[in-house]
Homo-oligomer: A and B are copies of this chain.
Amino acid sequence: MKLPIKVVLIVSLLFTASFSQEKVYKLKLATTWGPTLSPLIDSAKNMAAMAKKMSNGRLIIKIDASNKHKAPLGILDMVKGGHYDMGHSASYYWKGKDIATLPFTSMPFGLTAPEQYAWFYYGGGLELMQKVYSKHKVLSFPGGSTGVQMGGWFKKEIKTLDDLKGLKMRIPGFAGEIMANLGVQVTNIAPGELYTALERNNLDALEWVGPSMDINMGFHKIASFYYTGWHEPASEMQFIVNKKTFNKLPADLQEILRVSMRLAAYDMYAQNYDMNATAWDKIKADFPDIKVKTFPKEIMDAMKKANKELRTSLSAKSFELKEVLDSQDAYIKKARAWSQMSDFLYIKDNIQ
């Protein structure tokens, strides 16, 4: 059989095209955050941009912010159910469904950010997280640390435990339960109404994040006491990936996804450190009368006692939670000794 040269070339080109055209994987990611909520949303955007560039366009991750999917606290369900391939949120939002997910964000009086990254990646934390999440059919990874979250804005100074009795404060979640134990009237108010509530004394105090995100809320204009952190010493955000989706990716794209998430998480920590430093510098300059305060020992001791009791009662109901808390406690014991003799004693002699 003989064929004309034109046919030869066409056949050749078709063969070539079919081999060199590689499959493009398009994933959809849902975030808890609004489309411009820095630095939280930036972690997801940074991750998607790296994955696209490193894969030469073979891995495309489209981000839907909360204004699109309207279910900011439904991320785990949507990824588990396959409506989304990925999510960016925070593990402690699922504590109502699965109490063992609570400690992967941050625990009161728990690990600091450097300690927590060491625990996740070199102290067994990531393996425990995958174990807890395996029943939800998703993989879970660190998604960016805010570092220490501040204790909140107070309109009056808190000197004794009595000053907390009946105080109207917005502080959600596990920390809110501790505050309620100390007599605080814990109030839930939508974020958009917080400023007005604080201004009109419908709230006496509130907890948000830290300078980087508090500054846009304007609380520093109407409350003069900014308390240091105790309840979220290193809140780590979370990436989740539907297990089936992940398993379908070729090995190189799996690694590109893993690396992009891990780097985006660390980067968010550094970005937020910079944002906190810059925001606090501005707040201090514009409102020099604001006082940074630490809760007195009497209050701190009562918080620690309430924290311990709550943890014990929750652990009694969930062996899985207990396993994670025990791992963190053992890690704090050795990592804190190092934190104290390294950064802590260094900064003590180099206060600016």
Contact = CB atoms under 8 A, between A and B. Distances in A.
Interface of A: 1-5, 7-8, 11-13, 15-16, 19-20, 50, 53-56, 109, 112-115, 117-123, 147-148, 150, 210-211, 228-230, 233, 250-252, 255-256, 259-260, 262-263, 266-267, 269-271, 273-278, 280-281, 284, 292, 294, 300, 331-352
Contact of A273 (B2, B115, B300): B115
Given A263-B263, A277-B337, A352-B337, A346 B228 contact: yes
A346 B347 CA distance: 13
A19 B230 CA distance: 59
A115 B272 CA distance: 11
Contact of A11 (B8, B256, B269): B8
Nearest to A13: B15
Contact of A3 (B5, B112, B277, B345): B5
Nearest to A272: B118
Contacts of A19: 16, 19-20
A256 B50 CA distance: 9
Contacts of A20: 16, 19-20
Contacts of A55: 252
A229 B56 CA distance: 44
A90 to B, nearest CB: 19
Nearest to A267: B121
A346 B233 contact: yes
B351 A122 contact: no
A278 B19 CA distance: 51
Contacts of A278: 334
18 contacts: A3-B3, A16-B16, A50-B255, A53-B255, A54-B255, A118-B277, A121-B267, A121-B270, A122-B270, A148-B343, A230-B349, A259-B260, A266-B266, A277-B335, A281-B334, A281-B337, A340-B352, A343-B344
Contacts of A352: 332-333, 336-337, 340
A342 B12 CA distance: 65
Contacts of A263: 259, 262-263, 266
A281 B263 CA distance: 29
Most chain B CB within a 10 A radius of its CB, from A284, A331, A341: A341
A252 to B, nearest CB: 4
Given A148-B343, A252-B53, A339-B347, A8 B16 contact: no
